[in-house]
Homo-oligomer: A and B are copies of this chain.
């Protein structure tokens, strides 16, 4: 059997069953945005995410500064979604020997900008020769309470921290290879190339969220992890899903359905989380988009009709 026949999540399930975790100081192992270890009473988070040329980015389609920024941001996003703040990063890089030093330097400047913004530091690394640009970041973080995919409870409100679908629209625009882009198109492209992790919500997620995940594989794909890990049913209300004006313009211009982007577009790095009713006031600037119920599956309520959504997400294999 080939691994493409198993799918990304099927593969992960089989592989993690080989690597059993028994250390009692490991609070969370495989299966969430971060692993978590108790070190002398501190909850330390671990995550990693890679940017591989040709798979996650095209060299001629993203500025090296943005690439460096994005690498840090997508990892910070995983830490934040577990209720943490980022602390120490470790960078593993590979470049073809013919790479211009200026190009590499710009990636590092982008990483440094992002580290300053998120108040984190890269403290070590490893360098190798490679046939394509390879940037693999390992990031640690701290939290007082691990928030993950498992904690969604019946009766919780489902909250989205911002707009989704913009990054996918931006990616499609990039791949159109247009000579000139309109202003709203440039903004959508920027949403794809320079995402911002929601570090501003870190403390509130830690204090008040029952479950949380970041929107990297698409809203429904990621909510599928929450639904299965928490064994709950999730009901979205279509009228509550925020549609960004730029996405509206994009969809009008190119005859697309915005909800296809909002529900299934990936790489937005917004947070989708669930909170109890009494904590909903802490999230004034976010969107309440649905609720958690007993049962299973993800449903979209549109007026009086309700339909079950297919949990397709972006799979990397």
Whether B19 contacts A52 by the Cβ 8 Å rule is no
Whether A127 contacts B316 by the Cβ 8 Å rule is yes
Tell me if A88 counts as interface (CB < 8 A to partner B). Answer: yes
Tell me if A277 counts as interface (CB < 8 A to partner B). Answer: no
Tell me if A180 counts as interface (CB < 8 A to partner B). Answer: no
Chain A residues 30-70 with CB under 8 Å of chain B are 30, 34-35, 37, 39-42, 44, 46-50, 52, 54-56
Whether B97 contacts A3 by the Cβ 8 Å rule is yes
Which of under 10, 10 to 19, 20 to 34, or 35 or more describes the interface residues of A?
35 or more
4 additional A-B pairs beyond A6-B101, A21-B122, A48-B125, beta carbons within 8 Å, are: A22-B121, A26-B121, A46-B90, A131-B132
Nearest chain B residue, comparing its CB with the CB of A125: B30
Nearest chain B residue, comparing its CB with the CB of A102: B1
- The one of B29, B87, B91 that contacts A124, using a Cβ cutoff of 8 Å: B29
Tell me if A144 counts as interface (CB < 8 A to partner B). Answer: no
Can you offer 7 A-B residue contacts whose CB atoms are under 8 A? Answer: A29-B123, A40-B40, A40-B42, A46-B90, A46-B138, A127-B316, A127-B317
Contacts of A131 in B (CB 8 A): 54-55, 131-132
Whether B11 contacts A90 by the Cβ 8 Å rule is no
